[in-house]
Amino acid sequence: MDDVQLVERYSAHNYHPLPVVVARAEGVWVHDVQDRAYMDLLSGYSALNFGHGNPRLLAAARAQLERVTLTSRAFYNDQLGPFCKALTELTGLEAVLPMNTGAEAVETAVKLSRRWAYDVKGVAPDKAKIIVCANNFHGRTTTIVSFSTDPSARGGFGPFTPGFEVVPYGDVEALRAAIDDDTAAFLVEPVQGEAGVVVPPAGYLKAARELCRERNVLFVADEIQSGLGRTGRTLAIEHDGITPDVLILGKALGGGITPLSAVVANWEIMKVIRPGEHGSTFGGNPLACAVGREVLAILAEGEVQARAASMGTRFLDTLRSANLGKVKEIRGIGLWAGIELLPGGPSSREVCEAMLAEGLLVKDTHETTVRLSPPLVITDEELDWALERAVKVLS
C-alpha cells in the first residue's frame, strides 16, 4: 500500500483531498513523501497565516513544551492571563473565553448570545432567536449545521437545533425584517470563506452593525477565517470601521501549531456566563496560550497585515488584469481570492489538479470556485512564481 492508499484505507478524514501526502513543510512550501515540493496556496484555510514552521512560533512552543503543557482546569496557568490581556489589547474588547476549535467557539458564542438575551434583554425562556446568513459556514457540530444552508453539511444529521433564522447575505433590509423582540444576535462572517471568498456589498456590515445597535441585538462576527491578517487588517471588520459585540477567532490564533480559538466580548456581555457554566479540558491550556501570545505579538507589530494589504493588492490586480480565459470573476480582499470559473470549461477540481501539476496546492470549493489563500509571509519572488503558474493554468 502506498501512502495515499494507506490514508484512504484507514482514515475517515473525508475531504476529497488531492492525492498529496505531506511529510514536511517550511514557510510557504510543503514536501510530499517523495520529497516533491509544492507551494501551499491554501495555508490550512487561513490557520497557517504565519507560514509553516514559523521560527518565532516554534520557539514559543518549544520553550513552553519544556515548562508545562497542560494543567487541570482547577488551576490557572501563567500563560492564560497574558494571552487574554494581549488579545483584549489587539481587539479593543475586554474579556476572552478561550476554547480550542472554531466550532467550539461558535457554540460558545451561541450560548453567550442566548444567555444574554434571557438575562439582559429579557427574552422569554427558550424563545431566543439568532439570525444567520445563507451560505454561511460556522463549523460542523449538530447545532451549527442546524443553521447551515449547505445540504452536504446538514443532510442526514437531523433532528436540528431550533432557534435560528436564515437571511440572504449582504441584504440589510432582509436582516431588518427578520429582527423581532426575541432576537438575541446576528451571527455573520465579514467575508464568507467557505462560500468562496464572498465579500459583501460596501456598507453592508456597517449598516447591519447600526441596525443591531438600534434593535438591541448582538452583532457577532465570526472572524475565524477572515481574521488575524488575512484581509490586510487584523480583523476584516476594520475595513468597515466597526467593532462587534462578540468576536470569534480561531484557526491562525493557534499559529498552525495547536488548536486555539476564542470568544472575545466586553464584560457587560461576557459576565452572563458564570464560573462553572461553560468550559473545556484543553481551553486556555498553557501550550496553546504560549503560542497564541507569540501570534498576538506578531500581529501587534502590524507588519504581517501591511504585507497582506500591499501584496494582496498586487495579487488581486495581477489576476484581474490577466486575460484569464477560464475565469468568470475574481473575488477577494487582501491575500485571499475566490476564482469563479466560467461554466462549460474545466471544473474547479480539474483546475486544482492542473495547478498541482504546476506545483501549486489549492482547493476547490463547490463546483466552480477555486480559492487561494497563501501564507501571509510569502515573499515577492514566491508570489510572482505562484502568479505566473496560476495565470498559465487559468488562461
Active site residues: 137, 222, 251
Among 52, 114, 129, 138, contact with ligand PXG (rule: CB under 6 A): 138
Q: How far is the CB of 205 from ligand PXG (least distance, A)?
A: 15
Among 77, 225, 348, 368, contact with ligand PXG (rule: CB under 6 A): 225
Closest to ligand PXG by CB, 140 vs 349, is 140
Burial of 183 from C-beta contacts in 10 A (0-12 / 13-18 / 19+): buried
Does residue 311 belong to the site contacting ligand PXG (CB under 6 A)? no
Q: Which stretch binds ligand PXG (CB under 6 A): 79-87, 186-194, 286-294, 333-341?
A: 186-194
Q: What are phi and psi of 139, to 5 degrees?
A: 130, -170
Closest to ligand PXG by CB, 215 vs 278, is 278
Binding mask 92-131 for ligand PXG (x = CB under 6 A): ---------xxx--x-------------------------
Q: How far is the CB of 194 from ligand PXG (least distance, A)?
A: 5
Among 140, 206, 215, 271, contact with ligand PXG (rule: CB under 6 A): 140
Q: How far is the CB of 237 from ligand PXG (least distance, A)?
A: 13
Does residue 264 belong to the site contacting ligand PXG (CB under 6 A)? no
Does residue 193 belong to the site contacting ligand PXG (CB under 6 A)? yes
Closest to ligand PXG by CB, 99 vs 324, is 99
Q: How far is the CB of 384 from ligand PXG (least distance, A)?
A: 27
Among 133, 212, 221, 224, contact with ligand PXG (rule: CB under 6 A): 224
Does residue 137 belong to the site contacting ligand PXG (CB under 6 A)? yes
Q: How far is the CB of 109 from ligand PXG (least distance, A)?
A: 10
Residues 29-68 that bind ligand PXG (CB under 6 A): 45
Does residue 231 belong to the site contacting ligand PXG (CB under 6 A)? no
Closest to ligand PXG by CB, 148 vs 305, is 148
Binding positions for ligand PXG, rule: CB under 6 A: 45, 101-103, 106, 137-140, 189, 193-194, 222, 224-225, 250
